[in-house]
Amino acid sequence: MAESRNVTGSKDDLLADASRCMLMRFSESSCRLCFDICPHGAVSLDGGLSINPQQCRGCLLCTAVCPVGALEQSSDFSACLARLSKVPEPILGCVRTNECSNGTVACLGGLSEEHLLALCHTLTGRLTLNLSLCGDCPNNPMITRLRQRLDAISEAGLSDSRCHINFAESAQDIHYRDESVDRRSFFKSFSNALFKNAAVILSATNEQTERRTEYAGKRLPIRRKLLNSTRNKLSQELVVRIRKHFDSCVSFDDTCTRCQGCAAICPTGALQTELSDIPPTFDQLLCTCCGLCREFCMDGALRISTGNSEDGAG
């Protein structure tokens, strides 16, 4: 396994929670996003979500499309973001480019639109995505997807002129320099690193690549948490654009029987109920637009609209 990780990532770079999968929660769900996007045929949905460790190359494309957090990255993106922010013109790479990148993820294919948005509005100057070794990598189909995501962010008016993200596809385009600090900053960084490394060691001993959530448990996917954290720092104008691009609104028509089934099956807690004689209340910030509530509604009384809503939180 160690040798394969020098070539690409692996299944170990995934946190798989089959109990979160929409097909596990509702067998008639039409969701096949992870299966359709996997370039290696490593995802199986027969009898439940599973990842073939021999076929998985850790491209993390599945983590960027799963709307309910059944497949997520095992690495700490917040820690990576913190490392990048210490360098004027940082380079973000993968496990293959660790020696010439200021921050790394297992594979850049795991950078969703939410990740790219966070990078745009956290960093300043120029951020380079190190694709110099992607040409001969089995995960290179992710490059097209990554470009599409960055284009989508730009077209939605969500890219920040303070941080320009560019792609470097050859070694000549990489201008790597390590973090430079003065004496006081050095000791401060050293102290912080000790605590961070200790936290990583402690979390690593308890973290598993396979985990399970109780059916009734509600949990917000990491990508949605990242999005909500990012939007809290932005202007109202950008928040409105984020709503239009990322958010949805759930509403009910007159055929709703108040059965509350949609609230029970919602994996994130976006639909909540306290009274049985009215439809559930909707929290826009907790909705990932997975559509499971609409698929599950036996009365066809539930509607999901994309974009901003008059009563949406924000």
* CATH of residue 274: 3.30.70.20
Q: What is the pLDDT of residue 311?
A: 42
In the chain, which residue ranges form alpha helices assigned H by DSSP? 2-7, 22-25, 33-37, 77-84, 113-122, 142-155, 183-206, 222-231, 236-246, 261-265, 292-296
Question: In this structure, is residue 110 part of a structural domain?
Answer: yes
- State the pLDDT confidence band at 177, using cuts at 50, 70 and 90: confident
Question: In this structure, is residue 164 part of a structural domain?
Answer: yes
Q: Rounded mean pLDDT of 97-105? A: 90
Q: Are residues 90 and 177 in the same domain?
A: yes
Q: Are residues 82 and 176 in the same domain?
A: yes
Least confident window among 4-13, 126-135, 174-183, 252-261? 174-183
Using the 3D structure, point to which of 152, 187, 222 is the last residue of a domain.
187
pTM for the model:
0.84
**Which range among 8-17, 193-202, 206-215, 284-293 has the greatest average pLDDT?**
284-293
Q: Identify the three-state secondary structure at position 201.
A: helix
Q: What is the pLDDT of residue 214?
A: 62
Question: In this structure, is residue 134 part of a structural domain?
Answer: yes
Q: What is the pLDDT of residue 274?
A: 80
Using the 3D structure, point to which of 187, 207, 224 is the last residue of a domain.
187
Question: In this structure, is residue 162 part of a structural domain?
Answer: yes
User: Which residue range forms the structural domain that includes residue 118?
Assistant: 77-187
Using the 3D structure, point to which of 160, 187, 214 is the last residue of a domain.
187
Least confident window among 34-43, 87-96, 158-167, 228-237? 158-167
Q: Are residues 96 and 176 in the same domain?
A: yes
Q: Are residues 269 and 178 in the same domain?
A: no
Q: Are residues 158 and 81 in the same domain?
A: yes
Which of 202, 225, 265, 223 has the alpha carbon at shortest distance from 72?
A: 223
Which of 115, 131, 113, 108 has the alpha carbon at shortest distance from 59?
A: 108
For residues 139 and 141, give the distance between their C-alpha atoms in angstroms, rounded to a whole number: 6
Tally of domains within the chain: 2
